Homo-oligomer: A and B are copies of this chain.
Amino acid sequence: MQIEIWSDVVCPWCYIGKRRLESALAGFAHADEVEVVWRSFQLDPTAPSEATESIAAHLGSKYGGGAEAGQEMIDRVSEVAAGEGLAFDYHEAQRASTVDAHRLLHLAHAEGGPRLQGELKERLLASYFTAARNPADHAVLTDAAVGAGLSGERVAAVLGSEEFADDVAADAAQATAYGATGVPFFVVDRTYGVSGAQPSDVLAELLERAWTESQPLVQVVGENGEACGPDGCPI
């Protein structure tokens, strides 16, 4: 069973949703047969590659109330995060583009599959939300990527090029095709989707339902009909 999650590394509900999914998976009997793939979604595609303002100031100027209002928004989401065991501390975080982070997530998937990508996703989220590190800074990204297990050389080559930019764009297009307007957006086996950081029991229900339907063919309607087999064509 495959769970694809459209998500951004600077999206607080995405980190909270990740923990909720992890809780749901912890209680799911077939968790070892579940593959999680992180898909790219840029919440703020116009964010600059060089940080120029704090995220608090940006929120405050976008929604009104100035940096102080921005800090209060961060306070409120940090409280919810604390309830999931996450020590958010990103009052000092800078607004910056996440495209390079997403390109590295694609690199990680290409080089080491879901395990390596999952490790990098966790490190990128932690870097921003618990250490307020700049999500566009190549040194920060390299730290996370090499820490996750990627080769420094490959990371440098990707960061120095446009490699995987197409994949980031393709993920965004797919999210649009699915009607996703926000993230996290969970899709199971390209069949069922749920939007937002649902409570873990709702995610657990999704896992159970999708599991049942992902099982080898079910004869859903009627008895066996007349058929020919190795023993002939009974009538």
Q: Which residues of A contact B (CB under 8 A)?
A: 8, 11-14, 16-17, 43, 59, 62-63, 73, 76-77, 80, 177-179, 181-185, 187, 191-199, 202, 205-206, 209, 213, 216-222, 224-230, 232-233, 235
Contact = CB atoms under 8 A, between A and B. Distances in A.
Contacts of A224: 182, 195-196
A220 B213 contact: no
This chain: copies in complex: 2
Contact of A194 (B13, B184, B222): B222
A198 B225 contact: yes
A188 to B, nearest CB: 9
Given A63-B232, A181-B229, A183-B227, 6 more contacts: A16-B226, A43-B229, A194-B219, A194-B225, A195-B225, A196-B225
Nearest to A78: B235
B17 A225 contact: yes
| Secondary structure type dominating chain A contacts | mixed
Contact of A197 (B197, B205, B226): B226
B181 A193 contact: no
A195 B194 CA distance: 33
Given A225-B17, A230-B43, A235 B193 contact: no
Q: Most chain-B Cβ atoms within 10 A of its Cβ — which of A14, A197, A209, A217? A: A217
Contacts of A226: 13, 16, 80, 196-197
Contacts of A198: 221-222, 225
A221 B206 CA distance: 7
